[in-house]
Each structure stands twice: as C-alpha cells, then as structure tokens.
Chains A and B, each alone.
Chain A
Amino acid sequence: MRPRVAVLSGFGINCELETMAVFRMAGAEADRIHLNRLVRGEKKLSDYQIMAIPGGFSFGDHLGSGRLLGNRLRFGLREQVREFVTSGKPVIGICNGFQVLVKMGLLPGDEDVSLSQTASLALNDSGQYENRWTTLEFDHDSPCIWTSGMDRIRVPVRHGEGKFVTNDNSLMDKWAKSGQLVARYVDPSKQYPSASDEILPYPISPNQSWRNVAGVCDPTGLVFGIMPHPEANHSTWLGATWTREKKEQGEGEGMQIFHNAIKYVS
C-alpha cells in the first residue's frame, strides 16, 4: 500500500499543492488537510504515516513567522502531534513549516518532546524577504532520515525570517554533536564536504544563519525542518541555471528528500 502523507493547509499556508505533488511523484498518497479538520476530529493524524507542514505565510507572519500557527498546533493539537512524533513517524516542515516546528518547540526538540522553544528563526540580516538559489550540504553523520545518503542539492530560499539562532551557544554545540544541524549553506565552488561553522558571506548564506544552518532535525532524525524549498526543485527545468547545463531533463535535485521518507515508512 502507498504510504499516506498528511499535508497541512489553511490560514495562509500556500505551498501545499507542490508539497502534495512531490510526495505523489515519490510514490505516496498525499491528502490536503485543513488544520481545523484535525482540531475538530474530522480527520486523525494517526491515519497517516508522514506529516508535512508546507511553506507559506501563515497568519501573514504577523507576530513573527510561524508563531501563530505554531500556537494553534501547540495549544490545539498538542497530544495528536506528540503521539505522531513519539510513534516514530516522520515529519517535515518546509520554510514557514520549519518556522512553525521551531516556534512550537518540536525542533531542534528534545528526547521528551516537551514542546518548548529553544531556537528561533530571526529576520534575515539583509532586512528583507529574498528569493534566491542556494547550495545546501548535508551531514552524513546525522540521524536525519530525510537526508540520508545525500551530499548536496541546489534549492531556492524564499523567506524574510530564516536566520537560525539560539540564545544558548552550548546548545549549538550539542545539536552539532548529535548531527541535528543537518543542512547548511555552502559555497558551491568548494568541494564536498565543506560545511563550516564560520558564517559564509552574503548571499552564499542568504540570511547569515548561525553556523550556516539551513535545516535541522530532532534527536531521532524523524522530524526535519528546512528553510529552503526542496519541493521547488522537483524537475530539472526548475533549476536556476538549467538552461546553461547540458543534462538529461528529468527529476530535480530536491526529490531525494521525499524519496527517502517514503522509503523509510515503506
């Protein structure tokens, strides 16, 4: 049976169609589920093997990106979400979805799934929203099931608040050690692996994230959040410089992330 993916929608989430599309391309069934259907019990998260919180502008990013949707989940769906995560099912949050996961405390998270916020995504140092392509590198030693076996992909960032920070530097060391700082911005002209802690110049690091972090996972590697949009590179002809590359046209570099999750739950 094809795995079922719950793709959340509503309140300004706006990448749900392409997020459903990439899961379908990767062989899953994807349902769009309005958050209120879960809150009212019309749908149950437990009927799904994977949950995705797509990108968007939930509540217009007012009061901080992801904040209000995070609160709706934290206060309205607390037990359903905890149960989903503790039962070992993968969760992905992309862009605004990542911001939601961080603000509700699911990422970088802790063993107890206590849902308390320990990191944040601050305004880009550029002071504004930007859409530009970046190169990401993944940590092979990370427990993250979403990125396993992956080296690098090219993906667009489309955010104004993507600077990963925390108020406790020792946490950064802890997360680094446990492989939770799984996705980082790198200079594409450097050979793999080149991820470094020193903040790379703008715009290689589009937001001046600490340690160039672009995405993190929880200690189990099942919950994964990422600022750039892997679903936006589902086909080669969506690349930033594809007209300059002599390549067979087909699946894009972002798809492996979704294949990995489908493989994990199959």
Chain B
Amino acid sequence: MPTTQRTTLFEVTTKELAGLTDSRGERTRSMLSADYGIDVDSVRVILGYQVRAEISDTEASSLVYDLFADPVIEHGSWEYRLLEKFKHPPTVAIQVGYKPGVTDNSGQAGLDGLMTLFPALTSASVSTSRTYAFWGVPPEVSPEQLAVALYNPMIERSSVSGPSDCSKGHWPDLEFSERPSVEFQNPATVDLEVSDEDLIRISQDGLLALNLEEMRAIQSHYRDMSVRASRKKNGLTPNRPTDAELECLAQTWSEHCSHKIFASKIRHVDIQTGEESVIDSLFRTHIMQPTLDIQKEVDWLLSIFHDNSGVISWNDKWSVCIKAETHNSPSALDPFGGAITGIVGVNRDILGTGLGARPIANTDVFCFGPPDYSGSIPEGLFHPSRVFRGVHSGVRSGGNESGIPTVNGSIVFDERFIGKPLVFCGTIGIMPRRLPDGRESHIKTPQPGDVVYMVGGRVGSDGIHGATFSSLELTEESPSSAVQIGDPITQKKMLDMIIEARDAGLIQVITDNGAGGLSSSVGEMAELTGGADLDLSKVPLKQEGLSSWEILVSESQERMTVGVRPSDSEDFEALAELHEVEATAVGIFTDTGDFFVRYGEIPVAQLPISFLHDGCPQLSLDSEWIPPVHDPISTSELSPEGMGAVLQRLMSRPNIASKEWWVRSYDHEVIAQSVIKPFCGANSDAPSDAAVIAPIHGGTQGLVVSNGISPRYSDIDSYAMAAASVDEALRNAVCVGVDLDMIAGLDNFCWPDPVESEKTPDGRYKLAQLVRANRALDDVCRAYRLPCISGKDSMKNDATIGGEKISVPPTLLFSLLGNHIDVRKAVSSDFKNPGDLIFLIGQTHQELGASEISYMLRDEGVGGIGGEVPQIDTDRNMTSYRAISSAMKKGLIQSAHDCSDGGLAVALAESCFGSNSGAKVEISPIYSDSNGLDVWGALFGESLGRILVSVRPSERESFEAEMAGSTCHYLGQVSDDDPILVTMRGESVMISSMSTLRESWKGTLHGGGKV
C-alpha cells in the first residue's frame, strides 16, 4: 500500500489492573500536594508520541504494542484519544510538550525504536508530550494554576481543557513540535572604528559581555598593519572583525572562560588593619603558587590547572582526576535542563582530561532558597521547592542514566539563593597511568596535521551564548537559547566509544565542547600545536541554515573534539560507527600561528593564537575591607527539656534535616565500588561524612571524596568562611580514614559580582571578601598540605528581577579527593554498640557567630547572628587529624562523625540515629578548652577541627595513648535506650529522645508530601 508522510499520535497509559497503580499520576498528585498545597482526588498521565513518517495503517497499528505501549501493563492507541476512554471524563486535562527546537530525549529514543522496526523510515521524526487528566480538582484551583505547576514556559508548551471543554470532549491538542527553520546569514563584518559609546553598545547589543577596554584591545588589533596584510592575503576584510571573530573573542575572553576577576590586579585596602597592598592575580598568588610549592614536596601531582581537570598519580597503575563546575544561571531558568546539562557537562571535563579519563563518581552540592519559603517570589523566578525538585531530577537523570554513581553531596539553604541557585556538579575520573602504546595518559600529544574530529551530538541553535550569558547577571530578558537539556544516552555511547579509542591508541588530543563550543575547544587545543584550520561546512547540524558564527559558538551538548592522526582516521571512524556515534572530520591542527575558520571556501575568521589567548587586557580593580556589624545572638537560660526542644527544632531545619528522600533516588552504587555510602547505620539512614570507593574490583585501595561548604560565615568574615570550608572537607575525609599524605582539593568560588559599578555599589566590599577568602584558602591548604589541583569560579551570581537585586552569599565549595590505604579499615559515623565510649576530639570555643542556631533564633524573632565566627588553628587540627588517622589504622575507632552545622548536639544525635540508641554525656570536660564557653556554645557552637568518636571500653587506654598531644575529651557512653541525656557537672542540661529527634529530622524534607 503506498503511503505518504503523515503525523500520527500514539498514546499510552497504565492499564487498570488490580494491584497496579498509575505511578506517574500518583507522583504528580503527591507533588502538587507537597509543593503547592493543591489536593486533587486523582491524576492519570498519558504519554503521547507524535510520529511523522510514511507509515501505513497496518504499520501504525503494529507500532502500538511493538514499540510504544507495553502489551502487559499499558493501554496504547493511535486511532482515538485515550482521554475519551476513562469511565468518567476528567475535570481538567492538560497536555505538555516541548517547544520547537528543545531537546526531546524520549522523542529521540522513540525514533531510534521506530528505525529498529522500520529501517527505511530515514526521514521520520518523533515528538513527545504528556497529558495529565485530573479528577476532583478543588473549585478554587483554576486549570491554569495546575498548568503552571506542570510546565516551564521557557522550554515547554501546554494546552489546557477546563471542565466545560472536558465535558464536551474538547481535548488538549498540541501540534507537532517542529524544529524552527533558521535563516542563514552571510558572514558580516563589524566596524569598530566608532566612538567608545558605540563600542559599548556593540558589546551590549551582541550579548558579548566585553567591557570598553577589551573592545578597544580588539579595535587596536584590527589597526595593526601586519594583521591587515595577513587578513587581506587570506581574503578577509583587513580592517574589521567578522561577526564570527568577535563572537569567538567574546567567548574566549568571557569571565566564564578566562576568569578575568581572578586574573586581575587588585588594589586592596583593609580599613581595620590599615593594610594597603596590590595583588597581581588572586589565582596565581593564592591558588597556583601554594600548589606549585607543595608539588616540590610530593611526587603524586601529575597535571595541575592546565587541563580540563587536575590529575594525581594514585598508584603505579592508575591516575585519578577531579573536577567540579557550576551551572547556576541555566538551573535558575530551567532547573531540570540546567542541572542535567551541568552534570553531563562536567563528566565530559573528565573524559576530556589527558587522553580521556573514565568518570567513576559524581558529587553534587546545591544551594537553594528555603523549600518552605512563604514570602513573595519575584516575577521570573521559580519557588525554591520547584528549583530543588527540578535540579534534583536533572542530576538524578544525568548521573543514573550515565551509570556514574553520585557518591556524596550536600544541600544548603538560604533565602539569598532564591535569586540564583548554586548547582555544583563534580566528577572523579580514573585512567591507566600508561596506555598500551606506552604513552602517559595524562599528557596530550597533538601534532600539526592531526585531524580535528567533532564527536557525539550535532550543532543546533540551542545553547548559543551560554558562556557570555553566565558572565552577565540574570534578568527578565535572559535568553531561552541559553537553556539546553542534556542527553545522557548520546553521551554514554560517545563515552564508551572514546574510551575504546583511547585504549586503542587512536587519540592524540581531546577536549570537551562546553562553554563557547567549537570556538573554545578547537581554539584551546590549537594553542598546543600553534594553530588550527576549521571548516564549518563539515559540521553536522541539527537544522540547516545556521550561520557561521552560530556554528562556531553554539554550545550544543554531548560533543567532544578529538585530534586523530590521519593514519588512524579510518579506525577511529569505524569505532564511531560501531557505537552509533557521529564522528566528523571538521579540520586539521596546524602550526601557522592562527586559528583559521572557513565555511567551505569562504574565510570566516583568522585569529592569531597569541591574541586569542593572551590579548585580553588585565582588569584593575579596587577592594576595601570594612568588617560588617551584626546584632549579637541572643540566648536565654532554658530547662533541660527546653534545650531538648531547641535541638528538636534545629534538627528539622532544612540545612540539618535528613535529605534521604532525595538522595535515595541517586544511584550511589553503580560500578560496585561504594564502601562508605551516603547513608550508614543499622537502618541505613544516618548521614555519612564522606564517600569511600574502591574502584578497582576486588582491590582494597580506595579513594575518599568529601566536601566542605559554609556560605553563611561570609556574613561575618569570608576568611572564616573559606577556612571553614577547607577544614570541613578535610574533617569529613578524616572521619572515614583518609590517607593524610595524599589529599588534593578543588576550589569552586561562587561570588556575587565584585566589580564596583553603578549596579554594584558595594563591589569593593565584595572584592575584599574574595581577597580574604583566597588568603584563607592559601593559608589553610599550605598548612594541611592539601594542594588545589583544579578549580572554577562563577562571579556573577546576582539576579535583578523587578528592580530588586538579590546577591548570593560569597561561597567557596571545597571538594577533596584523597587516597585510602585500605578500605577494610574505613570508619562510618554511626555509633556501633551500647556501652561504647564517646569522645570529642578538638577544642570548643564560644563561637556562635553565623551558626545554624543563630539563624534559627533570628528566624524565630530573637537576636541576630553576630558573635565570634569559628576560627581556624591548622596546627592543632592537623595534630588531631593525624592522631585519629593513626588510631583508625589500628582499628581503635568504632565511629567518627564531624561536628559542623548545629555543633556537638547535632553530631551526637546523628551518631545515635545510626545505632538506634540514645547516649549519656557530660560536657564539663570541654569547658577547659576556653574561657567564656556557655551551654549554647558547648552544644550548638560550630568550632572547627572537632570530631565525635566512639571507642570500645576495652580499647580506651590504647586509644587515649594514640590521642596524646591532641585535645580529647571523654564525654560519656552510648546507651541501649532512647533518651539522649546531657549533663554539666552532673546537672541535667538537655533531655531529648533519639526517636523524636529522628522524626523531626526526617520529616522536613520528605519530598513525597506528608510522611
């Protein structure tokens, strides 16, 4: 039977069988209740697949159960709408589908499945939607309100049928989502011989994010006579940049790619001490230099700062690497897409390290507004609970579908993250020290003449201007083209293929296509050989008609750029074909000194490598430190039960509450290597301090992954904030038994704009905060011999919405990757046995400034957050950490848990959760640490360097002998009943119940609604 191209809607829903629920509908119902307080009777979800293909009726009919619907548990249809078939028509029906051009992973999978059945349908396309049918919608809830909760207008469309439509059988009906056609623009040139005002206008209108000085540097480049002569010879307009050149420079020189603030010259003034100094690059002075100095003392730092991630030599056979990045702006606009793109993006940084490393673990840290926030949300922003759910879901999909375990993480809440959430995605990778061909895998070996391949996804109009966009603040006009949705399966296929190619010796050089797309990836690698010649007409496109500059800078996802010897091209392409991965030769590496770009025969760009990478003028900035003033914390004398109630409220604070409901849905065990998992204890619900993995199957050497983050200390002093972050990361690692002789760090700075301007009048103060944080990082990393091997900064975390500016608190996430000598000696945080002895290692001072309890009391209307913020004593801490490490090697420590948010009381409760028991402790010994300690400081203060441990009674003496030279207080015993009792010189000061505390701790962030 002859057929023509037609569009057919296939629909699928869960069958009504006893013992089978429509889980998608049920999940939607509970989400509406948990996040929006909307209670409907029931929800059903119908999946829709619109297929545009040349298929006959018979073929369409066979597709229903051969492809789209499960014949056992689902109903499928193609000739009628499933909405017609419910016994009672729904009250409201809402169909949601993607906007044209947005990545539709289910649609792509559907197309692949269609081609399995009908390989001849090469021009078919599939677009998906979901239809939600509601029954029992409260009359005060409009269909539009429901729709708002279900779709994101930035990337999705909806079609709504209200009660009267539904009663008449008028169903929502989205049209096929067709990728919009784009109009090819001929390469244009831009006249830069204009006034300064016009230079600025060109930058602003083009979303270039370049300042006047940078625009002038570009202007003067095109005035250079030798540049003009060379351009003329190559057929380019001699005296003006092409649009592609300007875009390429803007990407390469963006704050996002070139870290201009960290490279700037800073005049720093400290009003408190009278210091006046000049810092020539924070990065070189405080991050790179300490690492270079440590490199002289250790033999395991293989590759630092210059590659996509830092690499250390783990043992003779394997090296490991780590990288973390943020994806804040995209996650604010589309939480799911932003986060999934973040996680699969950082995975590619690992794959692009050396000659290609395999990602083996993810670590994710998020900062959100409070999920229970009840204030008004500025127009254009999402409620924090929706951001939370979307980001979580994106990271879950990205990690789980890629087969990379999420081994560790943290979630921090503060109202200022409503403006911009911070979404840190980190990945650890592993690679053999040497490849079968003898090359060291961490060293790239490109040669002029190597073929440039683009591997993986195609280039589309999505993701244009991501790098420059994230270098600007977020406004209502932020472009939706900056938002993308990651495709983990395309990437997984590519990853499998790349690792095979690496082992076969086919890869000379590799990097990922992230910010700036091909302009950055090829531009960066061209620096290694001294040039490249790129032909944009060879680049496979998602849609025809893209202009040259768009192809050059598009950040379309799931792409790597690989250099391959011409003699290996055939093998490389065959491997790609086997894995069903697209690999296209798009240019060659050269040594001409130029990054040359053409579209077929038409020259598009000619940028000298030296100008591209070193031509950006250094910023000069001013910094001024004036310590802030806060109302002091206000505490009162309470009964023991009253203090118990305080602890109970503290346990339910989002920053402290259990995140189990969320974390359980991350695969944290794929690869079969997870020794210390996110949860431990008798019921596997007590929080672990750090992850331990043993990545070589059967091997007992391990890796430790931990994080430290404490943004609120910046409210008092960002020096203390950064010091606390590093200490927390190390403390967490010490708790599981890290090898202190091989620890490496990652610094991720997320700052509000620290450049003084009309929009940022307090820029000098924010820059001084940055200076102080860097100094702390320098001091503490040197003292702990903890070199930063890679890092990243994101410096524009402000949102101006409706005229109101919201800046995030200055935040340093410090991530740690360390060795573990023998994972069989790893220690978890849960108390093990009743009768075990409880000790507190480290000193407690009256340090309640910016503590979680201070914020709690302030939020309850009492006092401020002022007071001493925890100070660091690195020598004292390191002495304790070494002693603990030694005691653990001898098996003398049963449990170890870090004291951080909420202090000793919270740590004690959490260790009790893990053993299903209470404890009796006497806190008077810790009063000998300092003068001025009170019971609030003792129980809830967050002094650094403290670890709560438990020890078998029979091993007390040996343990105490190990701890000689460190502050080590005996506090009491693990009990076999429920109460947690705290006394001070025998007098009760706090009475609480483990099970009650656990209930409060677990109730707050239960994402499925009421427990």
- A residues apposed to B, CB below 8 Å: 9-12, 14-15, 17-18, 21-22, 25, 34, 36-37, 55-57, 59-64, 67-68, 71-72, 75-76, 103, 117-120, 122-133, 156, 158, 163, 165-167, 210, 229, 231-235, 237-238, 240-241, 243-244, 249
Number of B interface residues, CB 8 Å?
Answer: 71
Q: Which of B68, B116, B402, B580 contacts A14 (CB 8 A)?
A: B402
Q: Which of A17, A63, A158, A165 contacts B20 (CB 8 A)?
A: A165
> Does B745 make an interface contact (CB < 8 A)?
no
Cα(A62)–Cα(B14), bound, Å: 15
Task: Check B684–A241 contact: CB distance below 8 A.
Answer: yes
Across-interface contacts of B170 in A (CB, < 8 A): none
Cα(A127)–Cα(B34), bound, Å: 14
Across-interface contacts of A60 in B (CB, < 8 A): 105-106, 109, 401, 488-489
| B688-722 Cβ-contact flags toward A at 8 Å (1 or 0) | 00000010011010000000000000000000000
Across-interface contacts of A103 in B (CB, < 8 A): 70
Task: Check B113–A232 contact: CB distance below 8 A.
Answer: no
Q: What would 29 A/B residue contacts be, using CB atoms closer than 8 Å? A: A15-B670, A21-B697, A60-B109, A62-B110, A63-B67, A67-B67, A119-B72, A120-B72, A125-B26, A126-B1008, A127-B1008, A129-B665, A129-B667, A131-B669, A158-B670, A165-B17, A165-B72, A167-B17, A210-B19, A234-B672, A237-B694, A237-B700, A238-B675, A238-B694, A241-B680, A241-B681, A243-B676, A243-B832, A244-B681
Across-interface contacts of B977 in A (CB, < 8 A): none
Cα(A256)–Cα(B403), bound, Å: 24
> Does B748 make an interface contact (CB < 8 A)?
no
Across-interface contacts of B110 in A (CB, < 8 A): 62-63
Across-interface contacts of B396 in A (CB, < 8 A): 129
Task: Check B488–A57 contact: CB distance below 8 A.
Answer: yes
> Does B682 make an interface contact (CB < 8 A)?
yes
Q: Which of A14, A21, A122, A132 contacts B23 (CB 8 A)?
A: A122
Residue pairs across A and B with CB atoms within 8 Å: the count is 195
Cα(A30)–Cα(B690), bound, Å: 33
> Does B1002 make an interface contact (CB < 8 A)?
no
Q: Which of B113, B488, B675, B694 contacts A67 (CB 8 A)?
A: B113
Task: Check B109–A59 contact: CB distance below 8 A.
Answer: yes
Across-interface contacts of B267 in A (CB, < 8 A): none
Q: Which of B117, B578, B669 contacts A158 (CB 8 A)?
A: B669
- Nearest residue in A to B65 (C-beta to C-beta)? A117
**Segment of B322-330, B594-602, B823-831, B851-859 in the binding face:** B823-831
- Nearest residue in B to A230 (C-beta to C-beta)? B672
Cα(A163)–Cα(B74), bound, Å: 14
Across-interface contacts of B496 in A (CB, < 8 A): 9-10, 34
Task: Check A243–B827 contact: CB distance below 8 A.
Answer: yes
> Does B417 make an interface contact (CB < 8 A)?
no
Q: Which of B105, B401, B666, B672 has the most CB of A within 10 A?
A: B672
A43 to chain B, nearest CB (A): 11
- Nearest residue in A to B26 (C-beta to C-beta)? A127
- B residues apposed to A, CB below 8 Å: 14-15, 17, 19-21, 23-24, 26-27, 30, 66-68, 70-74, 105-106, 108-110, 112-113, 116-117, 396, 400-403, 488-489, 492-493, 496, 578-580, 664-677, 680-682, 684, 694, 697-698, 700, 823-824, 826-828, 830, 832, 1008
Task: Check B23–A125 contact: CB distance below 8 A.
Answer: yes
Task: Check B68–A122 contact: CB distance below 8 A.
Answer: no
B60 to chain A, nearest CB (A): 16
Task: Check A243–B823 contact: CB distance below 8 A.
Answer: no
A39 to chain B, nearest CB (A): 10
Task: Check B697–A25 contact: CB distance below 8 A.
Answer: yes
Cα(A37)–Cα(B574), bound, Å: 12
Given A127-B27, A244-B830, residue A62 in contact with residue B109 (CB < 8 A): yes
- Nearest residue in A to B693 (C-beta to C-beta)? A238
Cα(A22)–Cα(B826), bound, Å: 23
Task: Check B697–A17 contact: CB distance below 8 A.
Answer: yes
Q: Which of B396, B489, B666, B676 has the most CB of A within 10 A?
A: B489
Task: Check B72–A167 contact: CB distance below 8 A.
Answer: yes
Given A18-B697, A63-B67, A120-B70, residue A156 in contact with residue B493 (CB < 8 A): no
Task: Check B824–A237 contact: CB distance below 8 A.
Answer: yes
Cα(A241)–Cα(B116), bound, Å: 44
Cα(A203)–Cα(B108), bound, Å: 34
Across-interface contacts of B20 in A (CB, < 8 A): 122, 163, 165
Cα(A18)–Cα(B489), bound, Å: 20
A54 to chain B, nearest CB (A): 10
Given A17-B697, A166-B72, residue A12 in contact with residue B492 (CB < 8 A): yes
Given A12-B401, A21-B697, residue A62 in contact with residue B106 (CB < 8 A): yes
Q: Which of A18, A119, A240 contacts B672 (CB 8 A)?
A: A18
Cα(A158)–Cα(B396), bound, Å: 12
Task: Check A124–B826 contact: CB distance below 8 A.
Answer: no
Task: Check A123–B70 contact: CB distance below 8 A.
Answer: no
- Nearest residue in B to A59 (C-beta to C-beta)? B109
Task: Check B23–A124 contact: CB distance below 8 A.
Answer: yes
B514 to chain A, nearest CB (A): 21
Task: Check B672–A59 contact: CB distance below 8 A.
Answer: no
Task: Check A63–B106 contact: CB distance below 8 A.
Answer: yes
Given A63-B113, A241-B682, residue A231 in contact with residue B672 (CB < 8 A): yes
Q: Which of A37, A130, A240 contacts B677 (CB 8 A)?
A: A240
Across-interface contacts of A71 in B (CB, < 8 A): 66-67, 113, 116-117
- Nearest residue in B to A118 (C-beta to C-beta)? B72
Across-interface contacts of A166 in B (CB, < 8 A): 72
Task: Check B71–A132 contact: CB distance below 8 A.
Answer: no
Cα(A14)–Cα(B668), bound, Å: 13
Task: Check B672–A232 contact: CB distance below 8 A.
Answer: yes
Task: Check B19–A165 contact: CB distance below 8 A.
Answer: yes
- Nearest residue in A to B700 (C-beta to C-beta)? A237
Cα(A10)–Cα(B108), bound, Å: 17
Known: A17-B671, A72-B116, A231-B672. 17 other contacts (CB 8 A): A12-B493, A14-B403, A14-B492, A15-B672, A18-B672, A122-B20, A125-B21, A127-B24, A129-B400, A129-B667, A165-B17, A210-B19, A232-B672, A238-B694, A241-B682, A243-B827, A243-B828
Q: Which of B73, B489, B580, B664 contacts A36 (CB 8 A)?
A: B580
Across-interface contacts of B680 in A (CB, < 8 A): 241, 243
Given A122-B14, A131-B665, A165-B73, residue A63 in contact with residue B672 (CB < 8 A): no
A30 to chain B, nearest CB (A): 11
Across-interface contacts of B669 in A (CB, < 8 A): 131, 156, 158, 229, 232, 238
Across-interface contacts of B67 in A (CB, < 8 A): 63, 67, 71
B652 to chain A, nearest CB (A): 22
- Nearest residue in A to B49 (C-beta to C-beta)? A63
Across-interface contacts of A210 in B (CB, < 8 A): 19
List the 5 closest A-B pairs by CB distance, nearest first.
Answer: A14-B403, A62-B109, A127-B27, A21-B697, A18-B672
Given A57-B401, A59-B109, A103-B70, residue A243 in contact with residue B19 (CB < 8 A): no
- Nearest residue in B to A120 (C-beta to C-beta)? B72
Cα(A128)–Cα(B68), bound, Å: 21
Across-interface contacts of A127 in B (CB, < 8 A): 23-24, 26-27, 30, 1008
Cα(A128)–Cα(B666), bound, Å: 10
Across-interface contacts of A238 in B (CB, < 8 A): 669, 672-675, 694
Cα(A159)–Cα(B650), bound, Å: 33
A87 to chain B, nearest CB (A): 26
Across-interface contacts of B74 in A (CB, < 8 A): 64
Given A129-B400, A244-B830, residue A234 in contact with residue B697 (CB < 8 A): yes
Across-interface contacts of A18 in B (CB, < 8 A): 671-673, 697
Across-interface contacts of B664 in A (CB, < 8 A): 130-132
Across-interface contacts of A231 in B (CB, < 8 A): 672
B648 to chain A, nearest CB (A): 25
Task: Check B697–A133 contact: CB distance below 8 A.
Answer: no
B673 to chain A, nearest CB (A): 8
B47 to chain A, nearest CB (A): 8
B80 to chain A, nearest CB (A): 20
Across-interface contacts of B105 in A (CB, < 8 A): 60, 62
Task: Check A123–B23 contact: CB distance below 8 A.
Answer: yes
